[in-house]
Amino acid sequence: MKKRFFLLCLIVIFSSCGLPSSEELEDMNVPLGLSKNQTGVVCSGTTPTALSISFYGYNPESFFSGYNVYIMTAGTDPANEIKIQVQSHIIQASDGQSSFSTTVEDNYIVKNSYSQLPSVSLTYLESNYPGFYSQPTKITYNITQLPNSTSLNISTEYSIGVTAISLSGKIETLPSNVITIQFSCQ
């Protein structure tokens, strides 16, 4: 009986080693310095085709999956409105398990070119920014569609924020600074 109890204790201890801890969550670097890339809008003549952003990231964490780009029509308090959606993205269940909110994902998080999350995938980072894991890196990203895969609306002002996320650990940082960009060509 004592042997079984000892074995059970070892299993619990080792299984807890596989998931990122709260200390690691705090240690996951928040992307910072979000800004417009050049004018913030890619234009074809006078027609806007994409929103263009840049930010700085440094995430060598082993459980890091990429960056999520949050977007919404600009309101009166953009930073707080983005933060509320970020905090609503991970749903904590009473049994300790957590999951991602599809409502938040469908309405507020930009999908990558494979219509998946995170918005900025490891594949994108590794192919475009080879030194990404070794030092803070300026990352540029174009938003061509809204989270529900419809077109961006001309002349609309959008609020944008970025988070770092771990899909396996179901952890996400607070958002970067938040910016607003109007989807139009001057």
Partner 1 sequence: MSFFYSCKGTPPTNDLNIPMGLECTDTTPSLPLRIYFYGYNPEPDFSGYNIYISTTHSSWSSMQSLVDQHISNGGFSSSINNNIISSVQGGNTYPTIPSYSLSQVSAGAQKVEFQINYDGASNGLNLAVSYYIGITAIDLNNVLESKISNIIKVDSSSCTGVN
The footprint of partner 1 (CB under 8 A) covers: 13-14, 16-21, 23-24, 26-27, 29-35, 55-58, 79, 83, 131, 135-138, 174-177
Helix (H) or strand (E) holding 48: strand 47-57
CB of 174 to partner 1, least distance (A): 6
C-beta closer to partner 1: residue 66 or 175: 175
At 98, phi and psi to the nearest 5?
-130, 160
C-beta closer to partner 1: residue 79 or 185: 79
Strands 66-73 and 120-121 turn out to be antiparallel
d(CA 120, CA 30): 14
User: 53: number of CA atoms within 13 Å, CB side?
Assistant: 32
For the record, the structure tokens of 65 come out as: 């999956």
C-beta closer to partner 1: residue 25 or 49: 25
CB of 35 to partner 1, least distance (A): 7
C-beta closer to partner 1: residue 23 or 150: 23
CB of 131 to partner 1, least distance (A): 7
CB of 161 to partner 1, least distance (A): 9
Q: CA geometry: angle at 181 spanning 137 and 110, to 5°? A: 65
